[in-house]
Structures are given as structure tokens and as C-alpha cells.
């Protein structure tokens, strides 16, 4: 019996899985198992022998059953342990990996500009990039013979042969959206219009497609003072500085009267641009009071309403804010450049959260 006990204890302790245990159970205490056969032999024994062997055999059977159960439980624990180890998951890790793509600086800056002007009550307006020459020029007080038409290096769309209506143009500025917004909504009006514009020009500071944002505010009592305040507020918020100095320089645009170009005070000390201090000035936009003829073209009565407008280069202010030296790189789609200058895809600019973080 001691041999049987030793043999089965050893085998049970070494059983690798439940199937092996079951086999051992059958082999030891199953109907035709070794212990069961021994129990049958009890019948051939003398009563004295039986009295001695019976309880010992029963005890051995119980012991083996106990060992089988204990081993089974241990195997189960080990299997659970292994599963827990293999399926371990750190639920505090971010659910998404940082996206491989980035937001282009032009998109980022467009969102920043939009957030700032939205905070001042400006809605976003849009117009087509393929524009009529009336919206792009005539309605903005740029008649056919006006030098500004030639200066804009306009791309003209082809017309079918025999169609001699004036050709459409790729809009040379976002100003035609002023006209479309006035015609669509009337006065009072407060909109910005960011978007693509086109001119046949290409060098380090010019690309044939670039981005502008137009601003237009019309009411009964809008003045240059409102224009100045809005632009100062915009620059402080956009460049994320406490103080900016703007210089309004008298200028000329056909669609505004009076007109001003706006420069921002800066320094180039040590080769890096600092805004808000120094003795240099950087031109950032054109602006003025909307010309009465432009209001009239937009079906707004110039004797009852007046307003300001401005136009700003988005790529240009992006270069200034983020220290990007060459405009052409904006449109090269070079992945290394995009990774370097791009912005996190899940961080939308918002005034309360800090625009660019």
C-alpha cells in the first residue's frame, strides 16, 4: 500500500493538466483501478486481515482522491495566473496612440484666427475660388482699366470658343466674399472669410496659391476706432503677447476710403523676430472704411450704413508666429517639414485653453 501511495502521489504531483489527472484517477480509483481491485480482494481475506486492511485501503483511496482534487485546483490556479499575466492590460494608457498625421500650420492658424474673431462676434463666410470678374473686381470698385487688375497677376479661366462673356477668374483675394456676404445677409454684418486665393507669382515669399482672411463689419456707427481696437485685440490674442504696437499707415485700396496698411512693431535682435518691442515695423495687413460704391454693389445703402474691412495673409502671419522661413515649404508636402511644423491633430485652438499650447 505504501508503494501504491508513493507511486500515485508522485504521478499526481507531476500531472501536467486535467486530462492527465483524469487518466490517473481512472487508473487508481476508477472501477477497474488498482485501488478498486485491491478493495475487491478484501472479500478473500480473513476477518482480522480485512479489519486491518479495509480502513487503510479506504484511507488511501481518500488520500488519492484528495491529492487529485488538490492538484486539479492547483492546475486551475496556475492556468488562471497564466491568463491574467498574458491578458494583462494597463487601462490607464491612452486609448489612442498619438496620430501619425499633423495639422498643417495654415489650418492651425486659420482655426486660431477664426477662434479669436468668433469671440468678437464675427461669423465665418465663404465664397467660391473660381469667381466672376464682377465679384472679384468691378463690385470692389476695380473697373476694367484699373491698374490693380493688372497688378494682381490674375489667372483667367478659359471660356468655350464663341462664348464671349467675361471669363471667370481664380479669385485674387478674399475681398469678393465681402460682396457675397452683403448680398446674402444685408446689414448689419460682421464676418470673416478665410480661404485660398491665387496669383501668378512665384518666389521665396510668393506662391501661386496662398491664403488670406478677410474681415468685414458693417453697422450704422462703425468707425476706424473700432477697426483699430479689433485689430489690436486680434494681434495680442494671435501672437499671444500682452502688448502690441500697431502703426496705421495711410495707403490706397480701391475698395476702402480711407485706407490704411497696418504694421506691427518688432525687433530682429539676434536674428530672431520679437513682436511688440524694438524699432522695426512689419506690414501684416491692408484695411480701411468700406467704400460707398462697394456697399452699393452689395445692395447696402451707403447713406445709412458704414463699416470697416481688412485683408490679411494667413501664410504670412503663420510664418511670423511660428518662425517658418520659406513660404514655398508650406506647399511642398514634405513629411519631415510637416512633422516639424505641424500641430497635434486633437488639439483644437480655443481662446480659453490657450491658442497654440
* Site residues for ligand DAH per CB under 6 A: 173, 175, 214, 253, 255-256, 286-288, 309-311
> Minimum distance from CB of 177 to ligand DAH (Å)?
10
> Minimum distance from CB of 285 to ligand DAH (Å)?
7
Q: Looking at beta carbons only, is 210 or 343 nearer to ligand DAH?
A: 210
> Minimum distance from CB of 215 to ligand DAH (Å)?
7
Q: How long a stretch of residues is the chain? A: 357
- Phi, psi (deg, nearest 5) at residue 8: -70, -35
Q: Looking at beta carbons only, is 152 or 244 nearer to ligand DAH?
A: 152
SS3 237: helix
> Minimum distance from CB of 175 to ligand DAH (Å)?
4
Sign of CA dihedral 335, 336, 342, 345: positive
Q: Looking at beta carbons only, is 109 or 262 nearer to ligand DAH?
A: 262
What CA–CA distance (Å, rounded) separates 155 from 152?
9
Q: Looking at beta carbons only, is 24 or 193 nearer to ligand DAH?
A: 193
> Minimum distance from CB of 151 to ligand DAH (Å)?
9
Which long-range contacts (C-beta less than 8 Å, at least 24 apart) are formed by 258-264? Answer: 258/224, 258/288, 258/289, 259/286, 259/287, 259/288, 260/224, 260/286, 260/287, 260/288, 261/285, 261/286, 261/287, 262/231, 262/286, 262/287, 262/310, 264/235, 264/239
- Phi, psi (deg, nearest 5) at residue 195: 170, 180
> Minimum distance from CB of 214 to ligand DAH (Å)?
6
What CA–CA distance (Å, rounded) separates 41 from 73?
32
Q: Looking at beta carbons only, is 137 or 330 nearer to ligand DAH?
A: 137
Q: Looking at beta carbons only, is 36 or 251 nearer to ligand DAH?
A: 251
> Minimum distance from CB of 166 to ligand DAH (Å)?
20
> Minimum distance from CB of 160 to ligand DAH (Å)?
29
Q: Classify strands 280-290 and 209-219 as parallel, antiparallel or unpaired.
A: unpaired
What CA–CA distance (Å, rounded) separates 140 from 201?
22
Neighbours of 346 (CB within 10 A): 9
Nearest to 172 by CA among 186, 156, 185: 156
Which residue's CB comes closest to ligand DAH?
A: 311
Q: Looking at beta carbons only, is 275 or 309 nearer to ligand DAH?
A: 309
Q: Looking at beta carbons only, is 176 or 349 nearer to ligand DAH?
A: 176
What CA–CA distance (Å, rounded) separates 176 from 171?
8
Amino acid at each position: 500500500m505504501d508503494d501504491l501511495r508513493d507511486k500515485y502521489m508522485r504521478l499526481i504531483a507531476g500531472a501536467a493538466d486535467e486530462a492527465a489527472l483524469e487518466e490517473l484517477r481512472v487508473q487508481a480509483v476508477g472501477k477497474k483501478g488498482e485501488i478498486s481491485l485491491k478493495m475487491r480482494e478484501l472479500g478473500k481475506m480473513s476477518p482480522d486481515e480485512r479489519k486491518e486492511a479495509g480502513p487503510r485501503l479506504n484511507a488511501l483511496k481518500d488520500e488519492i482522491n484528495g491529492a487529485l482534487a488538490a492538484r486539479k485546483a492547483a492546475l486551475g490556479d496556475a492556468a488562471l495566473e497564466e491568463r491574467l499575466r498574458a491578458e494583462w492590460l494597463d487601462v490607464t494608457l491612452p486609448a489612442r496612440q498619438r496620430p501619425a498625421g499633423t495639422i498643417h500650420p495654415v489650418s492651425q492658424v486659420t482655426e486660431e484666427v477664426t477662434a479669436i474673431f468668433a469671440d468678437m462676434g464675427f461669423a465665418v463666410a465663404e465664397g467660391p475660388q473660381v469667381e466672376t470678374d464682377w465679384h472679384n473686381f468691378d463690385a470692389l470698385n476695380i473697373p476694367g482699366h484699373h491698374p490693380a487688375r493688372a497688378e494682381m497677376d490674375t489667372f483667367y479661366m478659359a471660356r468655350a470658343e464663341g462664348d464671349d462673356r467675361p471669363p471667370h477668374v481664380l479669385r485674387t483675394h478674399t475681398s469678393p466674399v465681402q460682396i457675397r456676404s452683403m448680398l446674402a445677409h444685408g446689414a448689419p454684418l460682421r464676418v470673416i472669410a478665410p480661404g485660398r486665393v491665387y496669383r501668378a507669382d512665384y518666389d521665396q515669399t510668393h506662391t501661386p496659391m496662398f491664403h488670406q482672411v478677410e474681415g468685414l463689419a458693417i453697422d450704422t456707427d462703425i468707425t476706424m476706432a473700432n477697426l483699430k481696437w479689433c485689430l489690436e485685440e486680434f494681434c495680442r490674442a494671435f501672437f499671444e503677447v500682452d502688448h502690441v504696437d500697431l502703426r496705421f499707415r495711410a495707403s490706397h485700396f480701391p475698395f476702402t476710403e480711407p485706407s490704411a496698411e497696418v504694421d506691427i512693431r518688432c525687433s530682429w535682435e539676434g536674428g530672431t523676430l520679437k513682436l511688440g518691442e524694438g524699432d522695426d515695423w512689419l506690414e501684416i495687413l491692408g484695411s480701411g472704411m468700406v467704400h460707398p460704391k462697394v456697399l452699393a454693389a452689395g445692395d447696402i445703402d451707403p447713406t445709412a450704413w458704414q463699416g470697416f474691412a481688412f485683408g490679411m495673409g494667413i501664410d504670412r502671419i503663420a510664418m511670423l508666429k511660428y518662425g517658418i522661413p520659406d513660404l514655398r515649404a508650406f506647399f511642398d508636402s514634405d513629411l519631415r517639414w510637416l512633422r516639424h511644423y505641424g500641430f497635434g491633430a486633437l488639439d483644437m485652438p480655443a481662446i480659453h485653453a490657450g491658442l497654440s499650447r
